[in-house]
Amino acid sequence: RLRDGLTHEAPGRRGLAALLLHELGDPAGTATLQRLARGDDPDRLAVVGMLLDTAWTHGLPRSGDWAGRLSERDDLPPALEAQALKVAIRFGDADAERRWTQRITETRDVSWRTRLALTGLEVAPWVEPDRFAPMTTDDDELIATLGVAAAAVVQARLDPTRAVGAETAVTDLIGLGHPRACRWAADYARQTASPELARAVIEQTPPGELRGRARRLDAVATATQTLLELDPDLAERRLLDLLATDATDDARRRAVLLGLIRSRSEAAQRICAALPPFTDRPTAALAMVQRVRRPEPLTDDEAQALSRLVRGDDRLDESLRIQTAWAYLRRTGQADEAITAVLARP
C-alpha cells in the first residue's frame, strides 16, 4: 500500500510514502525522495521541509543519509540547508557535522551564522562539546551565548553533575529573547524535567518586539504547563504571584493563563480561583475560559462576561472560544438542544 503512494498526484503524499519506504530500506522510496528534491514542482521546497520536519519529529534514523546528501546542494535556501544539516547531524552523518562547522566558521553573514548556531543548539544532544568552540568566541553576543549553552548542554549530558551549569547557560540565553531559542529552552526544560528552568522561561522570556512575540509567548505557555506538571506547589506560589502583581505585563500574563488552560490540572484551577479580576479584556477572557471549567456556580457578572465572550465580543483564539461555548451551553442546560440542532443540519 505504501508503494501506491509513490504515484499519488499530490507531492506531499508522494513524499511521505517515499520517506517511510526509505526508512524501511526500500530503494523505490529513496529514489522518489531524490527525484522530489530535484524536481520542478512549485511546492517542492515546502514538501522537502515538511519531510525533514517529519523525520526530525518522529526520529527516523535512515533519513539522515538523505538529509546529508540534500544539505550538500548549492541551490537550497539557507533555512532548508540548516534544516537538512540538523536532521543529518542528529542521525550520525559525520560529513554533515563537518560541513556545519565549516559553514559557521567561514560565513560572515550574521543572519546565516545565527541560523547555523541555532541549528547547533538543537543538535547539541548528539555531538561533542568542542564542536561549539567557534561559536563561544564569536563577536556576536547571541551566537556566543548560543555556543555556550550548546556546549553546556552536551557537558551535562556527559556528566549529570554539571546540570546546574547547563541551566545557568540556558537561562542566560533566554534573557536575550530570541524567539526560537526561547522555544527551544521551554522544550529543554520539559525534556530535562527541570522546574527551575521552566520557571526561568516563564519569568525571564521578554515579550519583546511584535516580530517573534507569538513564539516567545508560546514558550512561556509551554513552560507554564511543564512547571505545573513537575512541581505544582512551586507553580502555585510563583504563578499566582506573577499573575496578581501589577508589574507583570499583559502579554506575559495572557501566556501564563493559556498555559493554565492547556494543563487542565487541579493546581491550575486553584491558581485561577485565587486570582483578582483583570481589567484588560483579553486577559479577563482567558481567565474566564479557566473559570468556567470549575464546578462552582457563576456569579451574575461572570455569566454576563461569559455570554459576551461566546458571542465574540472579546478577542479570543477561535479554538478556545469553541471550548468555552460548549462549557457555556452545559452550564445553561442547552448542550443537548445544541447537539440535536447540529445533527439535524444537512
Digit-coded pLDDT (tens) for 154-206: 999 999 999 999 999 999 999 999 999 999 999 999 999 999 999 999 999 98
pLDDT of residue 207 exceeding 60, the answer is: yes
Find the length of the chain: 346
pLDDT of residue 313 exceeding 60, the answer is: no
Q: What end-to-end distance do the CA atoms of the chain give, in Å?
A: 34
Identify which has the larger pLDDT, 174 or 321.
Answer: 174
Mean pLDDT, rounded, for 240-251: 90
Q: What is the pLDDT of residues 25-38, one digit of tens each?
A: 999 999 999 988 88
Instruction: Please give the Cα distance from 310 to 193 (Å, whole number).
Output: 37
Mean pLDDT, rounded, for 147-154: 95
Identify which has the larger pLDDT, 255 or 342.
Answer: 255
What is 125-189 written as a DSSP string? GGS-GGGGHHHHT-SSHHHHHHHHHHHHHHHHHH-GGGHHHHHHHHHHHHTT--HHHHHHHHHHH
Q: What is the pLDDT of residue 300?
A: 74
Q: What is the pLDDT of residue 318?
A: 63
Residue 213 has which C-alpha cell? Answer: 512575540
Instruction: Please give the Cα distance from 12 to 246 (Å, whole number).
Output: 49
Share of the chain above pLDDT 70, in %: 88
Place of cell 445553561: 332
pLDDT of residue 263 exceeding 90, the answer is: no
Q: What is the pTM of this model?
A: 0.83
Query: Running DSSP on this structure, what letter comes out for residue 2?
Result: G
Instruction: Please give the Cα distance from 322 to 211 (Å, whole number).
Output: 27
CA distances from 189 to 77, 124, 251 (A): 31, 15, 21
Instruction: Please give the Cα distance from 338 to 313 (Å, whole number).
Output: 21
Instruction: Please give the Cα distance from 326 to 42 (Å, whole number).
Output: 41
Q: What is the pLDDT of residue 284?
A: 78
Residue 226 has which C-alpha cell? Answer: 511543564
Q: What is the mean pLDDT of the chain?
A: 87
Q: What is the pLDDT of residues 65-120, one digit of tens each?
A: 999 999 999 888 999 999 999 999 999 999 999 999 999 999 989 999 999 999 99
Among residues 311, 253, 307, the alpha carbon closest in space to that of 282 is found at 253
Q: What is the pLDDT of residue 346?
A: 62
Mean pLDDT, rounded, for 213-217: 87
The C-alpha angle with vertex 209 and arms to 52 and 219, in degrees rounded to 5, equals 50
Single-letter amino acid, residue 317:
D
